[in-house]
Structure 1
Amino acid sequence: MASENEISFDGIRKPKPPKAIGPPRILFVGNSHIEYFVSTPTLFKELCDANNININVQQLVTMGVSLDKVYYTNKTEANQNFSNIDKDGNYYDYVVLQESTPIALKNVEKYRTNLKLFAEKIHQNSPDAAIYVYQNMSPLSYTNSQYDKYHKELRKNTILAAAFIKNAGVLRVGDAVKDAYDGKNGYQYLKNNKDNLRDGKHVLHFLNDGGFLQAVLLYSTVFNTTPIIPKKLILSTGTGDNDNMRKQAVHNAISNPKALEEIAFSNR
């Protein structure tokens, strides 16, 4: 049964977080869309630190698999996490659940089943956790004629799947990415004929611009405000084998942070 939390103008429910005693806790569950060239949990924590929000960040991330396989791959750690309790009655205050794109796109029943698998385990010791179901972005290049079709299908399926989870809403990643590609707020995704948001041959992973957009979107969605952006963030030095993540000046590593902030906030 769907929860009776607030419905926004576009039909997406807004989960209500529990009242935390002490620092709240967030759990990221998913695959390489959460962490690859850049790390959303790391960036989110940096944004929180810069805005004087003390929050504990945890993650269960496995490359290239669906949510059920994330659980079974990390079963011991997952079960330990889900058995933990907090004095305020909710060990986790926020949870991000990111399904694999093929399942989110083609198999709504499996999508719901996998979300339910985690929701039931989370609710054992976090009955009031605010769950954000990750809206996958279109897996195709923006120049592909089928980009919009895949985007709409993923958006629809995410809303349908999230509707059956208690106190759950949608983290509108796909919408924010499409807005960036569409040039909202003056953002230009092409630089020297290269995509500034995502890179990859078979799977498109977030580059610095995309990772920044995703982290600011999550912050804006959870706290309903735009974060103060620190001068430096841990971002990728590139996509090669010798590249890694390290502290870099935002104005050098991100092509148009202001435009991406505005796109993120409008999709909260």
Structure 2
Amino acid sequence: MKKYILISSLIVSILLFSCNNFKSETSITSDGISKPKPPKAVGPPRVLFIGNSHMEYFVSGPTLFQELCNANNQNINVQQLITIGVSLNKVYFTNKTEADQNFSNIDKDGNYYDYVIIQESTPIALTNLSKFRDNLKLFAEKIHKNSPDAAIYVYQNMSPLSYANSEYNNYYTELRKNTILAAAFIKNAGVLRVGDAVKDAYEGKSGYKYLTGNKDNLRDGKNTLHFINDGGFLQAVLIYSTIFDKIPIIPKKLLLSTGTGDNDNMRKQEVEKAVTNTKALEEIAFSNR
């Protein structure tokens, strides 16, 4: 997979942002997370992924999800609008021609899209709740024109810091709160609990160990941490579990990353060799569906 160099200033600005400046509007717990109801589909349901490099970089969330669906005889159509390193409004304007075409298509069951997974950039999701809401509204209004009953999942970004950083939990908490608050303003929307699942994995739930030597098996990167094979597998199983309410049967091989270097890419690999603890990650994903 071709990799792009991201401008680090946005993430650097996050790291310099003092947690003391965070302002919570209300106290939100897991009890406040609702689950959207999907429409009844005639034919294969369509799933649209909208976001940036947290969905696709070293590994591809939409591709892994499609592979899990194929292996489990789930006939589903996966589409995506993904642009590396930008906020949701820029994802739209970068892909405006394709997006407008997609949002003008119709289906005989009344909903062109059945599920939409939408991910904001970390800086906005963390520090600008108003912009987060506006950007979600931008897409929601367009989605609802041809898919009025689509189930929308707002992606809960993971803490941008290393788990070893003492501020990890502060950023996790703020991102979680803002995602719940932003999703509450969108019709038939819930939260895709990626941040919760990643935190559980770091904390060793179900016996998972994220470190091999000094190597983080979930994420890698210098200026921005992106999912590698364990993290990408966790995310894909979480998406599947969230939509279908069950753990998928895992195929012998999936399209996973050969590494994080410039000459590495995605290719079919044996899951048990490329992912360190599939069973634990499956359990963590299912518990956060």
TM-score interval w.r.t. the shorter chain? over 0.9
Distance 2:37 2:244 in 1: 11
Amino acid at match of 1:22: G
Amino acid at match of 1:10: D
SS in 2 for 1:225: coil
Distance 1:241 1:154 in 2: 31
Map 1:25-104 → 2, pairs under 5 A = 25-104=46-125
Structure 1 unmatched ranges of 5 or more: 1-7
The CA deviation string for residues 77-108 of structure 1, in whole angstroms up to 9 with x for no partner, is 00000000000000000000000000000000
The CA deviation string for residues 59-84 of structure 1, in whole angstroms up to 9 with x for no partner, is 00000000000000000000000000
Amino acid at match of 1:187: Y
Question: What is the match of residue 278 of structure 2?
Answer: 257
Question: What is the match of residue 182 of structure 2?
Answer: 161
Distance 2:86 2:154 in 1: 16
Question: What is the match of residue 157 of structure 2?
Answer: 136
Question: What is the match of residue 5 of structure 1?
Answer: none
TM value normalised by structure 2:
0.90
Question: Shift in Å at residue 9 of structure 1?
Answer: 6.1
- Is 2:258 the counterpart of 1:237? yes
- Is 2:204 the counterpart of 1:183? yes
Question: What is the match of residue 15 of structure 1?
Answer: 36
- Is 2:244 the counterpart of 1:223? yes
Distance 2:72 2:40 in 1: 19
Question: What is the match of residue 211 of structure 1?
Answer: 232
Amino acid at match of 2:49: F
Amino acid at match of 1:105: L
SS in 2 for 1:144: coil
Amino acid at match of 2:110: G
Question: What is the match of residue 145 of structure 1?
Answer: 166
The CA deviation string for residues 124-152 of structure 1, in whole angstroms up to 9 with x for no partner, is 00000000000000000000000000000
Question: What is the match of residue 266 of structure 1?
Answer: 287
Amino acid at match of 1:87: K
Q: CA RMSD in A?
A: 0.8
SS in 1 for 2:100: helix
- Is 2:111 the counterpart of 1:111? no
Question: What is the match of residue 3 of structure 1?
Answer: none
The CA deviation string for residues 182-241 of structure 1, in whole angstroms up to 9 with x for no partner, is 000000000121000000000000000000000000000011111011110000000011
Amino acid at match of 2:212: K
Question: What is the match of residue 4 of structure 1?
Answer: none
Distance 2:122 2:45 in 1: 29
Amino acid at match of 2:122: T
The CA deviation string for residues 240-259 of structure 1, in whole angstroms up to 9 with x for no partner, is 11111010000000000000
TM value normalised by structure 1:
0.97
SS in 2 for 1:13: coil
Question: What is the match of residue 143 of structure 2?
Answer: 122
Q: Runs in 1 of length 4+ with deviation above 2 angstroms?
A: none
